[in-house]
Amino acid sequence: MNSAEPPDPSPRQRRARYLVSMLAVLLATILLVLSTCSPRRSVLDEVQATGVLRVATVNSPTTYYLGAAGEPTGFEYDLVKGLADQLKVRLEIVVTTTPPEALALVKTARVHFAAAGIGVSPGRAASLRFTKPLLQVVPVLVYRKGTPRPKNLGDLSGHLLVVKDSTHTERLRELQARYPDLKWDETGDEEPEELLYKVANGDLDYTIAYSDLVAINQRYYPELRVAFTIAEAQDIAWAFPRQRDDSLMQVADGYLQALGGAELARLRDRYFGHINQVDTHGALTLATHVDTRLPKYRSLFETAANQYGLDWRLLAAIGYQESHWDPAAVSPTGVLGIMQITAATAAFLKIPDRTDPAQSIWGGARYIAQLAAQLPAEITDPDRTWMALAAYNMGLGHLYDARKLTDEQGGDPNRWLDVRNSLPLLTQSKWHTKTKHGYARGHQAVIYVGNVRTYYDMLVWITGSPAQALPQEVPPDTEVPAPPDNPLNIRSPVL
């Protein structure tokens, strides 16, 4: 039996079907347009929406590390934290082994950017964007003291190991045209500091590292030596992915621009301003004296520092700068003892025997605490500590003169870097004649503070116990008379 043919749709039904199909096409078109043309959320919007800024870095004294008290610190960390605070978001630090690993996280969008001592190079610029430079460093070839110093890359006679995918490997490949026999190995498992440690211990012949990192490590490993530079000064900057929009990078650049050169210089000084104060011989001598001399007096430094709310390593660093921890030290001007206290200061501090180690160390602790307490409250650490050290060396009156000159020249009298730059003016008659306390060896005070800072850093590294800042006020059980303008007199430290 044949089935009946379906009747043809009426004109009205055909129109209805046509309208439905047209509406479906129109709706699909609208949805397609909305899905393809609606604005995608920018990286900056993403950060603000999630409330998190995720940054890759490395553990290094030039970038990020945990301080003696367990708090995060470091040159680039301070800058990144400032950016996060400006954006009012939480900073999340992702620590990698090497800078190239940090860049890999940037390229795969697992972090927003890298702040890891990243060197800017043409090879990296193809896949990354960079902010304005934070500082400049020089890549250098490092070898060990006691081994032949190579004159150039063609003169190497041992194993050269560098971090894989670093700017150093880029440069080495460029230089192979000049030195066809040049060979090296690359490691992706070891950071630059580990390679420097291997060279210092004689486990590796050569490595290449940035000059700032080498200078810091030379204080701890005096056997490290720089043979030559392998390239001109190189910019260090933050690295952003090129495949994403630059909204966050523009904010970062604006933040760095707003900081200005002066603020960046102050921050650089905080972390790097003193690293070249003590040469490798001085660092090696300190390491020796830590074993042979410090054990006799460490408990005295600890007890005195604890009484006055100080870090004992800072007190020990002052004593080392003054006398190399020699209780019998005598300066040409008659200053005596471990802390090199003058007769006038001994009378002021009621110290009957300046050559007695306990009395000398106690007197030095009390005096540095008093100096710190008498500085204006608006001077905060670490500037407060460095200014107290300058006053310990040259007298509080001269420090106040330098602060006044700093203010008159448009600097910040509460910032050590600005005051440090003014201290040498106290040797010039056209400046010191305008001050209350007159001439002073400002250059000497600058060197003094730099040396103490270096010795302190080295003692923190050697001992590894928590640090403690100078007190903002003297402990309540301590009577503080006004000190004389220059109680320790102007004298060269006994070294």
The structure tokens 């009012």 sit at 88
Q: Are strands 90-96 and 234-236 parallel, antiparallel or unpaired?
A: unpaired
172: how many CB neighbours lie within 10 A of its CB? 22
488: how many CB neighbours lie within 10 A of its CB? 24
Helices 383-394 & 312-323 angle (0-180, nearest 10)? 30
The structure tokens 């005195």 sit at 304
390 neighbors 423 (Cβ within 8 angstroms):
yes
The three-state secondary structure class of 287 is helix
300 neighbors 358 (Cβ within 8 angstroms):
yes
Find residue 44's DSSP bridge partners.
none
Alpha-carbon span 54 to 47, nearest angstrom: 9
The structure tokens 């107290």 sit at 388
Question: In 3D, which of 406, 408, 394, 492 has the Cα closest to residue 437?
Answer: 394
Peptide bond before 475: cis, by omega within 30 degrees of 0?
no
Alpha-carbon span 53 to 44, nearest angstrom: 9
Active site residue 322: yes
- Exposure pattern of 130-145 as b/e (b: 16+ CB <10 Å)? bbeebbebebbbbbbe
The three-state secondary structure class of 382 is coil
Q: Which residue type does 46 have?
A: E
Q: Tokens at residue 103, please? A: 């860049």
Alpha-carbon span 357 to 365, nearest angstrom: 12
Of 101, 174, 322, 408, the active-site residue reads 322
Distance in angstroms between the alpha carbons of the first and the last residue of the chain: 122
The dihedral through the CA atoms of 208, 212, 215, 221 has a sign that is: negative
- State the Cα torsion 447-452-455-459 to the nearest 10°: -170
The structure tokens 């005598």 sit at 330
Catalytic positions are 322
